[in-house]
Amino acid sequence: MTVTERKDLNRETLNYKVIGIVSTFKEYKVAWHLNQLFDINLIKKKDEEVRLVNSSVIKISFLDFKVGKRHIKLISNKLKKSSKSNLISSLSNFDFFIIFSKNFFEFKDYDIIDRLKTNNTFQFANFVDINKLKDKYLLSL
């Protein structure tokens, strides 16, 4: 995937929500706990390589799960072998992002956070306002 210009992601095209997670655990352990909490099956995918406008390349590590039109991803905010240390620099306090289609969960948004709070794997979790992010195009893998 080559990003040669910023995608125009206005409010109408943002069909997903983002939760930022703070966790000291590794990606596979976070995914395992999410699978248990939400009865899903996140599967590790090949790291996505993104060539940015300045010709630098970043590798994004993520896990993915789809059921019909419903979709959820766990994306690491920590980059591997890159000049940047975080995928979304303005949210460097988050270790991971859960990105999901708006119709993925059958319960209220606050219930998602409440479920995450019941598990000690997650030190903190909160919704991220993607409309305020200048690098939101990096979350639209």
Whether pLDDT at 131 is above 80: yes
Report the range out of 25-29, 78-82, 126-130 with the highest average pLDDT.
25-29
**Residues shown for the chain:** 141
Q: What is the pLDDT of residue 141?
A: 59
- pLDDT cut 70: percent of the chain above it: 89
104 closest CA partner among 47, 64, 76, 133: 64
For range 71-95, the mean pLDDT: 88
Structure token pair of residue 100: 């999901």
Report the distance separating Cα 34 and Cα 116, nearest Å: 8
User: Chain centroid to CA 140: how far?
Assistant: 9
For range 98-117, the mean pLDDT: 88
Helix, coil or strand: residue 79: coil
Report the distance separating Cα 81 and Cα 67, nearest Å: 32
User: Which residue is it, tokens 């590798």?
Assistant: 59
